[in-house]
Structure 1
Amino acid sequence: MSNHVPNEARVIPLRPAAGSSSSAPAARAPQGPRPVGPPQGAPGGRPAPKEPLLRDLVGDVLRRERLAQERTLQDVADAARISMPYLSELERGRKEASSEVLAAAAHALGLGLGDLLSLAQGELTRLARTPSTGARAGHGRRTSSTAPYNGLCLAA
């Protein structure tokens, strides 16, 4: 009598799988989970560049803002009410911080959480530029399945 729903996330692909046709999506056989991450290789035999992690981007922004204000780790850590070693690990991209900790660190630097994430997204966009066109991600129409995105998606 009870409706049991499995505790699993539903994954909706943002791009069609390589080689699939859009005319009959229901005709494909079910597949197992796809590996998550950057493509295994790039054209020309070069390995694909490693996609940056959000924690690295956020850490870079935190450090850049702190240094621009000529403040010490201890000063910002005290203002954010977090330990100095933890703030150092955040800046180096060694720790994944909660949104609450990120907001505290951002506020200690005079930023909002949205400002911090926006600056990190700008870094991601800058790093995602394609060397062949020099265009920013998301500008112009792209049909390639390897085109970078100009956006940030957070899921809970």
Structure 2
Amino acid sequence: MTDHAANVHPPSPPEPGPEGRENRPEDPLLRDLIGQALRRARKAQDKTLREVADAAQVSLPYLSEIERGRKEPSSEVLAAVNRALGMGLDELLGTLTADLRPAAPVATLPSMRAPRQDGSSAMLLAA
């Protein structure tokens, strides 16, 4: 019998993501965030799964799986569910953005001000 423990490798370090940021295991999956946002919107409107599924022309079990983060909806299904909820894509994306914001305050860069000849200053903006 061979010793399998000798063949076990330690987990690889996280690979860098965009801009050198590590992909952390605690980063949420987009399908989870979408499902949570859709469920909150549906419940806020006091609509049942059946009502939204019928209006969106998707099956009730499929909509339930989307809300639970088990299925990732196509853009067509997402648009249909948004319409059934009376939401635009901008509203959904705004909700997702708010959900992704960290709870703790984020450090901000110091303001960039340029002195004027009259002694006041002007904020420098980039386009």
TM-score (norm 2): 0.66
Q: 1:140 aligns with which of 98, 108, 112?
A: 108
Does residue 51 (structure 1) correspond to residue 51 (structure 2)? The answer is no
- Aligned-CA RMSD value: 2.2
Q: Which has the higher helix share?
A: 2
Contact 1:107 1:113 in 2 (8 A): no
Measured after TM superposition, the shift of residue 16 of structure 1 is 4.3
The C-alpha deviation readout for 1:51-89, integer Å capped at 9, x for no partner, is 111111110110011111111100000001100000000
1:89 matched to 2:65: yes
Unaligned stretches of 5+ residues in structure 1:
1-12, 18-35, 39-48, 142-156
Matched, 1:37 2:23: yes
User: What residue is the counterpart of 1:115 in the other structure?
Assistant: 91
Which consecutive residues of structure 2, in runs of 5 or more, have no partner in the other structure? 1-16, 110-127
Match in the other structure for 1:45: none
Amino acid of the residue matched to residue 88 of structure 1?
S
Aligned length, in residue pairs: 94
Indicate conservation of the 8 Å contact 1:73/1:88, yes or no. yes
Please identify which structure carries the higher strand content: 2
Map of 2:77 onto structure 1: 101
**TM-score, normalization: structure 1?**
0.54
| Identical amino acids, percent of aligned pairs | 52
Structure 2: distance between partners of 1:112 and 1:15: 30
